[in-house]
Structure 1
């Protein structure tokens, strides 16, 4: 019973974790938020790795726009503000970046991408230890997703192990939420910004 959600997550995401080079073309990449560094102005290594891969997907033409989704009122600070500022600082065109400040968890990010921003297909950017759950949830919620792993340069091994264990522990919650198809914590009307960012 305990391992069943993990098995479901792994089976549902099988064959859908790809490299930047092998990623199929898509209009959008969803970059999942994470903690920011003390002081609230810089991304922590987990988040920096995700943003670097998102920028690379945009730069190489794999996607046309980025949907950055996180918690604007997170415990470590405003995740999406830091994400946006970091990307712009790396030379990303701000018109190609759309901010969802209510991606409070993986489920909400996937649900809002579908319901609010009209995403039906996307590349999903996070560390591999999280991507299997992200791909599975997004697919369950109507977003055909492929995961593109991000690095975590400078992360201690204990941090990797902790987050891997944390993700396994999140499996039952993910399965339950997907089964009951709960609404997002914050409901919003359809938002056309992503469609404009993708362009013709």
Structure 2
């Protein structure tokens, strides 16, 4: 019941702040792109990764954002989500100077909090799949960040059912982290300035 209530809470609180139409979403200076692995087993491309990159490129080229924070995990030299995102964005014509890398986005909570505390951004577009955007906006609300979500293309239920199930429990964990455990990001550190464009 508690897990179900957590999911319903997040759904209700965030339902009016998700956009899938690039023409309908309000413009903001910065987009926060949430990381995931570029490759799956056997070097297959991760479509969650590809579709997030495609979505943020669409925002940038439509003039809806001026800067991108690519936030993800950088735990080993072989697993560097921010750099993978940067390379993929640049391959689609996004200039390097329009991208800032957050190497300590180990979890969604870390990415959202660091966006405010390290990059000084509290009015953002979050880019991920809709199910993920909802949780990220919920976390943003707790920290006083004005966030809306731009939904990257999702996978079919049959292709993404494991992720959907994992998200169900991740939402309960988000409520637990924020309201019970008061979980903090693993790392904070020095401020990073977003350049004017």
Shift of 1:124: 0.7
Q: In the alignment, does 2:105 pair up with 1:103? A: yes
Shift of 1:74: 6.4
Shift of 1:39: 8.8
Shift of 1:41: 8.7
Aligned to 2:50: 48
Distance 1:4 1:157 in 2: 22
The count of residues paired between Structure 1 and Structure 2 equals: 194
- Long gaps (5+) in structure 1: none
- Long gaps (5+) in structure 2: none
1:13-52 map, 5 Å: 13-19=14-20, 20-37=22-39, 44-52=46-54
Whether contact under 8 Å (1:130, 1:164) holds in the other structure is no
Distance 2:46 2:113 in 1: 25
Residues 141 and 40 of structure 1, relative CA distance in 2, 3 Å threshold: farther
1:50-69 map, 5 Å: 50-69=52-71
Aligned to 2:142: 140
The Cα RMSD (Å) is: 2.2
| Moved >3 Å (runs of 4+) | 38-43
SS at match of 2:187: coil
Distance 2:29 2:125 in 1: 9
Q: Could you report, residue by residue, the CA deviation over 1:26-47 in whole angstroms, capped at 9, with x for unpaired residues? A: 0101110011215999852101
Whether contact under 8 Å (2:117, 2:188) holds in the other structure is no
Aligned to 1:178: 178
Distance 1:16 1:74 in 2: 35
SS at match of 1:161: helix
